[in-house]
Amino acid sequence: MKMKAMSMTFNQKGDDDYFIRLLSYLRSQFRETIVEMVPYRKSVILIRTEKGSYMLKGFHTNKRLRLQEAFTSTLRKEGFLKTYLFVHPEIKEPLFFEGTYFGCMEYITPNKIPFSFQSQKNRQEGLELLEQFHQVTSSFESRYRTLIPKGAIIEKWRDRGKTFTSNISTLKYFISDKILEEMIGWAKWSLSGMDNNRSLYLNEPFCILHGDVAHHNFLRDANGVLNLIDFDLISIGPACLDYLQYANRILPSLDWSFERLARYSQYEELLKKKAFVYALAYPADIFREWNRLIREGSYRDHQKYKQIMELTIGQFYSRKKFIEGLKVITN
């Protein structure tokens, strides 16, 4: 069994034991002979057999697995081809191992050059792919309204801010009082403006939102085609919610420039709407990462700590200048 380096979130010895047991189980279920197993995470595993390659993905419930199978199938039928399908190789029974249901997906061979938001070409292509995704899902979102949640960004961010504030005594060990006060002030100003202009989030046409437009969910294949993957966080709502998250992801690569963001056609109209401009000020990424770090207690992970401090302190003054510009625009 070929093992890749696993995330430090897990106990290494325990992981080895788990994957040895899992491999034994999979060999008993697959009619095809397994020749290689490469774990990426505990619930994402590459399986190579004599006949082909598959990605196994784990789900806590069979219901969630079936929803993902149905959604990706609908995407493909409605014309969105740049993603994976769930497949059904010859196995003896549905895959269920130690409390996890495993779905089997097509393996997309990745390009030698990984997708990154640091590239202008990638940022533009990612936006265009996301736009295609929204166009296709807007045609069938009504079928999924009873199956997936509605995107409620104001409520979600208000809860995230409350958790961040409740962690203030721990945060003070890492971040100065002045910077903490400033960031909490950004959040309050942003939410207040979003609340007062919430019609954008209620009256815009709905589609199915991806919900996690991080760089690792854009996968360029070996032929250079860009794919959108991982639909675990799909919800119903206006496309602007995905564009908002995408903006938050690419702004560091744009040196926190409103002008550079406005050059993308997908943002041309959105940046004229106050609700969207107010939302750009919310430090959703900072709050999310600190809340996770404290919840998991992973302060001693040097790599994680370095990344979160760069996000919080390294970009602080660029972000502050950007938000001051947003305040001028909304006045």
Helix orientation angle between 153-166 and 284-296, rounded to the nearest 10 degrees? 50
Please determine whether the domains at 12-106 and 120-330 fall in the same fold group of CATH: no
Range 120-330 classified under CATH 3.90.1200.10: yes
Beginning with the edge strand found earlier in the chain, give each strand of the sheet holding 34-41 in spatial order: 34-41, 44-49, 53-59, 100-106, 96-97
The proportion of the chain whose per-residue pLDDT surpasses 70, expressed as a percent, equals 96
Q: How far is the C-alpha of 247 from the C-alpha of 279, rounded, in Å? A: 10
Average pLDDT over residues 319-324: 97
Question: Phi then psi for 324, rounded to 5 degrees?
Answer: -60, -35
List the chain domain ranges: 12-106, 120-330
Higher pLDDT, 10 or 302: 302
Q: What is the DSSP string of 16-61?
A: HHHHHHHHHHHHHHBSSPEEEEEEEETTEEEEEESS-EEEEEEESS
Q: How confident is the model at residue 3 (pLDDT cuts 50, 70, 90)?
A: very low
The pLDDT value given to residue 202: 85
Name the CATH superfamily for 12-106. Answer: Phosphorylase Kinase; domain 1 (3.30.200.20)
Q: Provide CB contacts within 8 A for 170, sequence distance 6+.
A: 294
Q: Which tens digit of pLDDT belongs to each residue from 145-169?
A: 999 999 889 999 999 999 999 999 9
Average pLDDT over residues 195-211: 91
Q: Provide CB contacts within 8 A for 320, sequence distance 6+.
A: 182
In this predicted structure, the answer to whether residue 1 has a pLDDT above a threshold of 70 is no
The pLDDT value given to residue 16: 83
Picking from 132, 131, 135, 163, the residue whose alpha carbon sits closest to that of residue 267 is 131
Q: Which tens digit of pLDDT belongs to each residue from 72-111?
A: 999 999 999 999 999 988 887 889 999 999 999 999 999 9
Q: How far is the C-alpha of 69 from the C-alpha of 87, rounded, in Å? A: 9
In this predicted structure, the answer to whether residue 10 has a pLDDT above a threshold of 90 is no
Q: Which tens digit of pLDDT belongs to each residue from 246-258?
A: 999 999 999 999 9
Average pLDDT over residues 306-318: 94
CA end-to-end span of the chain: 61
Query: DSSP class of residue 197?
Result: T
The pLDDT value given to residue 22: 94
Q: What is the pTM of this model?
A: 0.90
